[in-house]
Structure 1
Amino acid sequence: MVTKVGITLGDPAGISPEILVKSHKKLPEAVYIVYGSKIAIEIAGKITGINFKCKQIKSPEEAKNKGFYLINVYDSEFKPGKPDSETGKASALFLEKATDHILEKKVDVLVTLPISKRHIMASGFKFPGHTDYLAYRAGVKNYLMMLMCNKLKVALATTHIPIKDVPDTLRKTDIKKQIKLLTKELEEKFKIKNPKIAVLGLNPHSGDGGNIGREEIEFIQPAVDTLKREGFNLYGCLSPDTAFVDYKKYDAYFAMYHDQGLIPLKMLCFKKAVNITLGLPFIRTSPDHGTGFDIAGKNKADPSSFIEAVKVSYRMKKLSA
């Protein structure tokens, strides 16, 4: 059975249309259904000089052969590098239609190209980004952001919040539930048996016995110890400054905040990193970069992360079949 890959175009004023056009001959053979804008894709074709063939359809059921198809959700006179509430509105509409279809099982996996949180919310969209919206639509409350490449997988206890808010947010977060979800998803979606997970401390040297922070003593290490007694294959809490030295030893890391986990990941594989939402009842991946408004329209965008996001979604689907 041919895999149907749904792709949301993201903000049409960003680099997403260019990335799509540049990548189309470098992807696995599948049915690709793009939720986006005909005008934005045509502009990208002119910018890159690439003849991107994408047949327009109304519904995924019409896509019967391998290749690219477009559901022209919303069109306007979009201009590369000129985002506004109109491009934010378009981003939201692309995402909403694609989410309808993956929940209806009309597409098999979902790959989302970057949106602007500022402009999508300026259009009236009530969610700050893809992940919260997809979890809401799927009725999921326990979900987790994980970023990965072929060398490393890193899940995040907290995501896009200020550093000063991390300790209080962690205290309110059930990290035991998050680690259980991470283990389950690694087993089911990546076929890793009894995955080895390195849990990082929050503070330098994991608090140094309480001398430079007590979060490890008060709730991180107790959570790890409880799960280890239940049979989970955990290591930690590890001192964050040395935990990645032996990264090949572990199947995944569980980091306490965004930069703690993602600086090592991006040093190892910046152009090939992929974002995955764990806990959803479907597979969703995205490239690990933003809208790139500053280079949109200049034929400078690198499609590598998007290509990896598609390949990862494709492999995950095959493993879970």
Structure 2
Amino acid sequence: MNKKPLICITTGEPAGIGPEICLDLINSPYVDSHNLLLIGDVHLLNKRAKSLGKDVDFIIISNPDDFPVLKYGQLAVLHVDCPDHNCIGRPLAINASYVLNTLDIAIDLCKKGASKVIVTAPVNKDVLNQGAIDFIGHTEYFAEKFGVKKVVMMLANNLLRVALLTTHIPLAKVPSQITPENLDSAIQIIHDSFTSNFNQPQPRIAVCGLNPHAGENGYLGMEEINIINPVIEKWQQVGYLVSGSYPADTIFNRASEFDVILAMYHDQGLPVLKYSGFETGVNITLGLPIIRTSVDHGTALDLAGKGLASSVSLHSAIEIAIQLSFTSG
């Protein structure tokens, strides 16, 4: 038995590539320093491994406190029953509760103090909602389960970090969420997270405008003048390195000047990040009492079961989660 730090890894939507990219963790450089625990159906994982010609020895873990020392080629799994294994490329509503159960188990382990890190493989929001589960996204689900009023979704790759003021909401609803309270809270969470987890006491935060050309002095919209700029000025007056609002069509060319760029909505910031480094992208939830990272891609149903899926983002998510856990209090 060993007492290495435990990392909970949920295996995601069984119809997608989540289970198979998790199989590649037998090659993770962190198995010597951390206990990597897959949370999912061991029989489904075993079937997927065999179908892909991967030689993996699964060790079932019932109590993470009794985690064994794994040998090469072994992966530890906390088994959760998945109703239908014959689902490759076809998300089934019958499996929705299974996917959610893997998340709940990881959350429970963290609440009990067994772990402080969760890394998630991708899920299918549509099939979860078909299964009568009101699921907006991982970010919102973790916030609710940990009783956190607001969190910030941030994605990072080797070139830049992009945080989002709003996440998975329709574009038509974004302007109503651009409020002084929401923006102020997001900046606070970003600042606190960079101070505690990234060891950067004075993070340089660039804030995008909502409108084209950041409103162009009110000609293209008043949100910058009435809401965004006053909040930025308030933070500047107390000595924080918050600047903007910047036009979103040019600020990403200056990414090296900042530690993070705060975009107003999902598709304002993430297309740039994903284009600049898709495979190494990692999703990080700021503001939780734990470390939570995720792959920066979807379930890729068209690739599932074909042995074509890349596990680079998953490895990156684990690497960043470990780095953050070392610097967190």
**1:206-254: per-residue Cα shift (whole Å, max 9, x none)?**
1110011111011000110111112221111111111111211101111
206-215 or 80-89, larger mean C-alpha shift:
80-89
State how far apart, in whole Å, the 1-side matches of 2:189 and 2:67 are. Answer: 34
Aligned residue in 2 for 1:24: 26
Aligned residue in 1 for 2:63: 59
Contact kept, 8 Å, 1:198 with 1:237, in 2: the verdict is yes
Counterpart code for 1:49: G
Give the 5 Å matches for 1:186-225: 186-225=194-233
Cα offset for 1:123? 2.4
Aligned residue in 1 for 2:51: 47
Q: Say which of 97, 100, 119 aligns to 1:92.
A: 100
Give the 5 Å matches for 1:105-124: 105-124=113-132
Q: Say which of 34, 37, 53 aligns to 1:33.
A: 37
- Cα 1:263–1:126, aligned 2, differ >3 Å: closer, same or farther? closer
Off by >4 Å, runs of 4+ in structure 1: none
Q: Say which of 147, 151, 157 aligns to 1:149.
A: 157
Q: 1:202 aligns to what SS in structure 2?
A: coil
Contact kept, 8 Å, 2:42 with 2:58, in 1: the verdict is no
Q: 2:172 aligns to what SS in structure 1?
A: helix
Aligned residue in 2 for 1:137: 145
Aligned residue in 1 for 2:172: 164
State how far apart, in whole Å, the 2-side matches of 1:213 and 1:112 are. Answer: 38
Which segments of 5 or more consecutive residues in structure 1 lack a partner in the other structure?
A: none
State how far apart, in whole Å, the 2-side matches of 1:307 and 1:237 are. Answer: 34
Aligned residue in 1 for 2:12: 10
Contact kept, 8 Å, 1:39 with 1:76, in 2: the verdict is no
Aligned residue in 2 for 1:304: 312
Which segments of 5 or more consecutive residues in structure 2 lack a partner in the other structure?
A: none
State how far apart, in whole Å, the 2-side matches of 1:27 and 1:73 are. Answer: 26
State how far apart, in whole Å, the 2-side matches of 1:205 and 1:51 are. Answer: 54
Aligned residue in 2 for 1:285: 293
**1:44-85: per-residue Cα shift (whole Å, max 9, x none)?**
212321112221021211214356311111133412112111
State how far apart, in whole Å, the 1-side matches of 2:315 and 2:101 are. Answer: 23
Cα offset for 1:193? 2.4
Contact kept, 8 Å, 2:214 with 2:247, in 1: the verdict is yes
State how far apart, in whole Å, the 1-side matches of 2:104 and 2:201 are. Answer: 35
Aligned residue in 2 for 1:72: 79
State how far apart, in whole Å, the 2-side matches of 1:172 and 1:230 are. Answer: 17
Identity, % of aligned positions:
34
State how far apart, in whole Å, the 2-side matches of 1:108 and 1:162 are. Answer: 32
240-249 or 68-77, larger mean C-alpha shift:
68-77
State how far apart, in whole Å, the 2-side matches of 1:287 and 1:92 are. Answer: 17
Contact kept, 8 Å, 2:280 with 2:312, in 1: the verdict is yes
Cα offset for 1:173? 5.4
Counterpart code for 2:304: A
- Cα 1:232–1:37, aligned 2, differ >3 Å: closer, same or farther? same
126-135 or 5-14, larger mean C-alpha shift:
126-135
Contact kept, 8 Å, 1:53 with 1:68, in 2: the verdict is yes
Q: 1:240 aligns to what SS in structure 2?
A: coil
Q: 1:312 aligns to what SS in structure 2?
A: helix
201-210 or 38-47, larger mean C-alpha shift:
38-47
State how far apart, in whole Å, the 2-side matches of 1:169 and 1:320 are. Answer: 30
How high is the TM-score relative to the length of structure 2? Answer: 0.93
Cα offset for 1:172? 7.7
Contact kept, 8 Å, 1:27 with 1:310, in 2: the verdict is no
Counterpart code for 1:43: K
Q: 2:176 aligns to what SS in structure 1?
A: helix
Aligned residue in 2 for 1:127: 135
Q: Say which of 259, 262, 268 aligns to 1:254.
A: 262
State how far apart, in whole Å, the 2-side matches of 1:121 and 1:59 are. Answer: 31
Q: 2:293 aligns to what SS in structure 1?
A: strand
Contact kept, 8 Å, 2:166 with 2:264, in 1: the verdict is yes
Counterpart code for 1:297: G
State how far apart, in whole Å, the 1-side matches of 2:199 and 2:39 are. Answer: 30
Q: 1:271 aligns to what SS in structure 2?
A: coil
Number of matched pairs: 321
How high is the TM-score relative to the length of structure 1? Answer: 0.95
